[in-house]
Chain A
């Protein structure tokens, strides 16, 4: 219901009723310069501290400052908070904040019927309407009749709140996002103290800016309270999460911390060679801040130098990592094969984005699976590990390090833009529960040859420069097994190609079996990998609660597959594989197990929603 009430009438209005809801989706949308990411992050932090379960989906334009007011310049942040265990940031918002016409135009189609819409009317002037492609002001026709519209002169009221402050108008204008945040805090009964504390810390050296933002934040709250903007306010109780200490974590951050944890658990200094690329750069930024943990970060001149420097570091005995996204991975291919050939441990993190070529840098996709499997010359298998949620990036990093160092092999860790920038509450693990990753360098001279192997893992010994008596040469030319001498012998080459493949294949003995959630056999299995976990879990849970015969399984290891995967797949009549690509895991599964797995593709630069997977399950059961 629209609230176009004039101020003088507001005193007559009744105080809103408070309704308790179990889950709510809020989207903040505005111009790139409107601070929507920050606003969304604050709402998220506050909700995390309140104890809700949550999931976030930031969405920003590829351009740093796209032309103001245009559709291309819209930046949005969606967050879902709940009093129970949730798995996705939600399919459609219950509440949309639109700071300008372009933001409204881009998001209104997603808002639920009867959803709450908060608009900054000050920005709905002719120029902005034109930029957004509106011929008629949507606030003045019937086009928004399906929603509960709350019009607020946010810019005007922001300036009014700061009337007495000695700040330039640019600075005043910049704090208007806090007005919107104050309104949303009021609507969803959130405390504002966390944000006040944060503002005071962030602007510790600019007390006037902190004061202005706090004033505006409170003004937004007070505006709602005094004018009784909303007939209903909402409450979302804390989620009944497992006992423990929690923090809200983004995927790239969890991955960074996971690498530092792996460094501590292995006793190896962490070396990151990287070249900035969206959406992987935040890992470089974060690790650059962990020098106190002995972390060395090297911003190389290009992607090739980044991976090459990491290979040099691995030769020297470091825990060597390179981070990138698809286009960068393409450039690193040759060097990854050098690590494979010299049998050195290397972690290659690929934070996937929409492609091909430059593609959609800020949007998500999981279409590099076949690239990491086969995108190098010759037979060159490498282990592939995929993270399935923001917090899982931490564990995926530890697992990638375990495989790389135990098997002396480059390992690819796949994440993607969705979980890299998305966040969720993370129950922090006990340090003692983390895997022991200690490695031993070879120091014994007696009997040493560079390509001698552990008979079980087939890993060669890691002998690092500076060790007396173990001087040896490695390189990209084919080597004779055991001695490591350059060899063009046909039988040796055949042996080495098979050996390198066998080494990776044997990892299947050292990873857990894939788990089936639901019945162990039945009509439909939904098989997933990577960031689709949340949407699949939500959809399958709902389908099962409706009594549908569907189970799910999720892969952490894409190469090699868990040993029981073939058996699991054959126990179901139909297999659906939701993937943000044209069917890459599907192709691998069909080739490996000769099963009739069917892909469910979504290639829109956006993650799957729960509903669409649920519908696909229902169709499959009917068909």
Chain B
């Protein structure tokens, strides 16, 4: 059943369907990154499955020449969970958006994360509803003027990574649609994780919310205002790597190396495997304003994997009652015979 995986190329993952996102949409870049990463994972093509919900991002499966399931709004994690429990050998990727994953499907997302099902969840966050033509989303900033909030939205936004961490996610990362090398590296890390891997991808919607992430993706910003997390290294940023994040009284503060005797040693050394997710939560909250935005893997810890647990319970029960037949089951309990 296994095909030759070493010969797989990016084009093997491109489907024959015409891609119908708006010209200039960030989704194209993400699609390209995923198609580039899949051949490098050493997984047979027929073992990839992409499961999506509803929204612009959720058209993703149609453009991938793999098994795919375009499900209903918000339910992709639940559909993917059933698939993964049935077929643990498959590499199951969930593609969702901020509306699909955090609004209508928020419940499924948090429960998938707490169970640690072996799914890779890519959340394309564009902070807007695109497919329904431009209403504010659960990640839109307060005061956002949209068709459904003409004088500004009142809802406080979710930070997707904070939600994931709060739900007990074992792998949490963030990247940006146009940061191709960073995005590909992040996707590979996600693929390697045994449990649920949650990746938030900042994605520009050039029609309804253009430049929402320019504070991260602009040429100047990407070198000045982004902390690229490297595990085991201090949190430094800036073109000259001369700025850093230091913990002071339990809060992050921005420091400049050399000022007041501050050295890189004073900045927080990042440990993605830290058991307590509190620092990751704090880091996830830094997003623009006076602080840099963190990109990369915020958290990656080992934890029991859900489907393995399910299967080992079944195997152990099968072993202890290995010869149980249908006959035994039917004729169990108190039976009596009528002549």
Contacts and interface: CB of A to CB of B under 8 A. Distances in A.
Interface residues of A, number: 71
Contacts of A295: 314
Contacts of A474: 68-70
Interface stretch (A87-95, A224-232, A236-244, A548-556): A236-244
A45 interface: yes
Interface stretch (B78-86, B141-149, B179-187, B227-235): B78-86
A296 B69 contact: no
B62 A486 contact: yes
A360 to B, nearest CB: 27
Contact of B338 (A241, A293, A475): A241
A320 interface: yes
Contacts of B334: 45, 48-49, 194, 247-248
B7 interface: no
Contacts, number: 202
B265 interface: no
A542 to B, nearest CB: 25
B75 interface: yes
A393 interface: no
B330 interface: yes
Given A291-B313, A428-B331, A465 B79 contact: no
Interface SS majority for chain B: mixed
Nearest to A288: B313
A468 B80 contact: no
A271 B85 contact: yes
A599 interface: no
Contact of B326 (A248, A260, A468): A260
Interface in B285-339: 310, 313-314, 317-318, 320-322, 324, 326-327, 329-339
B335 A316 contact: no
A311 B338 contact: no
A402 B329 CA distance: 20
A51 B336 contact: yes
Nearest to B335: A247
A292 B318 contact: yes
A316 B331 contact: no
B1 A312 contact: no
B86 A316 contact: yes
Given A293-B324, A466-B89, A312 B80 contact: yes
B51 interface: yes
Given A291-B313, A431-B327, A246 B86 contact: no
A316 B82 contact: yes
A302 B78 CA distance: 10
Interface SS majority for chain A: mixed
B90 interface: yes
B171 to A, nearest CB: 20
Interface in B64-109: 65-72, 75, 78-87, 89-90, 107-108
A468 B46 contact: yes
Contacts of B324: 292-293
A306 B313 CA distance: 20
A476 B71 contact: yes
Nearest to A298: B85
Given A309-B82, A470-B46, A246 B336 contact: yes
A116 B17 CA distance: 77
A338 B79 CA distance: 11
A365 to B, nearest CB: 29
Contact of B330 (A312, A314, A428, A470): A428
Contacts of B322: 292
A383 B205 CA distance: 43
A428 B65 contact: no
Contact of B47 (A51, A294, A313, A465): A465
A305 B78 contact: yes
Contact of B314 (A51, A296, A317, A467): A296
A84 B302 CA distance: 63
B313 to A, nearest CB: 6
B49 interface: yes
B68 A473 contact: yes
Given A245-B337, A334-B72, A298 B46 contact: no
Given A429-B330, A465-B90, A476-B71, 20 more contacts: A51-B336, A244-B338, A246-B337, A293-B324, A294-B318, A295-B314, A296-B85, A298-B310, A301-B111, A308-B78, A308-B108, A309-B78, A313-B83, A315-B83, A316-B90, A342-B69, A468-B2, A471-B45, A471-B46, A475-B71
22 contacts: A49-B334, A244-B338, A247-B331, A247-B334, A247-B335, A260-B329, A261-B330, A291-B314, A296-B86, A301-B108, A301-B111, A304-B75, A305-B108, A309-B82, A312-B51, A316-B83, A427-B338, A431-B326, A465-B47, A467-B1, A474-B70, A486-B62
Interface of A: 45, 48-49, 51, 194, 238, 241-248, 257, 260-261, 264, 269, 271, 273, 290-296, 298, 300-302, 304-306, 308-318, 320, 334-335, 338, 342, 427-429, 431, 464-477, 485-486
